[in-house]
Chain A
Amino acid sequence: DVKVTQSSRYLVKRTGEKVFLECVQDMDHENMFWYRQDPGLGLRLIYFSYDVKMKEKGDIPEGYSVSREKKERFSLILESASTNQTSMYLCASRPLGGNTEAFFGQGTRLTVV
């Protein structure tokens, strides 16, 4: 079974802190994603990576950065956390191929106080 593991299920951070959300997949997938999930807004793409060190902005990249130094790990970084970044964050991975599905992690519920 494909496994996408997010390092924390729940996280509470203070405003202004630098926050790292980690995601690891064990199936050698080339593509990895970070989404933010808010009620009524669905899943919004923050960043997408299609290879090691390669990244592409999604629809809402402001206030976030990402790092992909190894194929299996994709990190989301909040440079200076703000209360409006309180949300559920979902990581996903997807292999190459025209009809491949995305596999999601369990999510990290981040609260910024």
Chain B
Amino acid sequence: QQPVQSPQAVILREGEDAVINCSSSKALYSVHWYRQKHGEAPVFLMILLKGGEQKGHDKISASFNEKKQQSSLYLTASQLSYSGTYFCGTEMDSSYKLIFGSGTRLLVRP
């Protein structure tokens, strides 16, 4: 069952912040985040394992709340290069089966 992402779309000005949420109705083993630019393959951003950890990558970070079965991706001081569609991928167990959400389209304008 697909995780639910919100919002579906967001438009930002350069330098603004954004939060993308991902929630599941089932217990999660891990959450992945990927970004896909138009006409390109999705590219890995980060993975969070159960345990409620938080990770960061430059000005993009994420948290994973295992109890709430939710993850959030934080984009700080957005850059034009952040534009694209963001997908969260979830694993229910350690089987490697990865289920993605419907995506969040992010547009950063000058």
Shortest CB–CB separation between residue B52 and chain A, in angstroms?
15
Q: Does B72 make an interface contact (CB < 8 A)? A: no
Chain B positions 4-45 with a Cβ under 8 Å from a chain A Cβ: 5, 8, 30, 32, 34, 40-44
B residues touching A (Cβ–Cβ < 8 Å)? 1-2, 5, 8, 30, 32, 34, 40-44, 47, 49, 87, 89, 94-103
A side interface size, CB within 8 A: 30
Bound CA span A43–B2, Å: 9
Bound CA span A31–B91, Å: 14
- A104 near B87 (CB under 8 angstroms)? no
- B98 near A105 (CB under 8 angstroms)? no
Shortest CB–CB separation between residue B91 and chain A, in angstroms?
10
Chain A positions 16-62 with a Cβ under 8 Å from a chain B Cβ: 30-31, 33, 35, 40-45, 48, 50, 56, 58-59
- A59 near B97 (CB under 8 angstroms)? no
- A33 near B98 (CB under 8 angstroms)? yes
Residues of A within 8 A of B100 (CB): 35, 42-45
- B98 near A94 (CB under 8 angstroms)? yes
* Chain A residue nearest to B104 in the complex (CB): A42
Per a CB cutoff under 8 Å, which of B40, B44, B95 touches A50? B95
Per a CB cutoff under 8 Å, which of B40, B44, B97 touches A48? B97
Bound CA span A44–B1, Å: 9
- A42 near B1 (CB under 8 angstroms)? no
- Extra A-B contacts (4), CB below 8 Å, given A40-B8, A102-B44: A33-B98, A44-B2, A94-B98, A104-B41
- A40 near B102 (CB under 8 angstroms)? yes
- A43 near B30 (CB under 8 angstroms)? no
